[in-house]
């Protein structure tokens, strides 16, 4: 058994039931997040081309170019 695994098992064995519940909830949340992030790869908003477009827009605004405004409902 690897030293890391041994240490993890030692730590887990000393946890209270409430602490274990917190860790399990955290792991479930991470699993859900990983599932959501895999869907983001299919969303055109997260494409590298669109992300560069957004970054360029932010840089332009920071440089004083353009007009910052609230979202416009269409």
pLDDT at 39: 65
Question: From the CB of residue 48, how many other CB atoms can be counted at a distance below 10 Å?
Answer: 7
Those residues whose C-beta lies under 8 Å from the C-beta of residue 60, and which sit 6 or more positions away, are 66
pLDDT at 47: 84
Do residues 32 and 38 make contact, with C-beta atoms less than 8 angstroms apart? no
CA atoms within 13 A on the CB side of 49: 2
The two structure tokens encoding residue 70: 């609230």
Would you list the domain boundaries of the chain? Answer: 3-62
How far apart are the C-alpha atoms of 37 and 41, rounded to whole Å? 7
pLDDT at 13: 92
Q: What's the pTM?
A: 0.41
pLDDT at 37: 63
Tens place of pLDDT per residue across the chain (74 aa):
899 999 989 998 998 999 999 988 888 887 777 666 666 677 888 788 998 999 998 888 888 888 777 888 88
């Amino acid at each position: 058994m690897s030293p890391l695994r041994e240490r993890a098992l030692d730590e887990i064995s000393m946890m209270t039931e409430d602490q274990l519940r917190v860790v399990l909830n955290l792991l479930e949340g991470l699993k859900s997040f990983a599932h959501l992030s895999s869907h983001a790869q299919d969303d055109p908003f997260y494409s590298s081309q669109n992300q560069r477009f957004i970054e360029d827009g932010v840089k332009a605004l920071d440089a004083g170019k353009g007009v910052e405004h609230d979202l416009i409902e269409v």
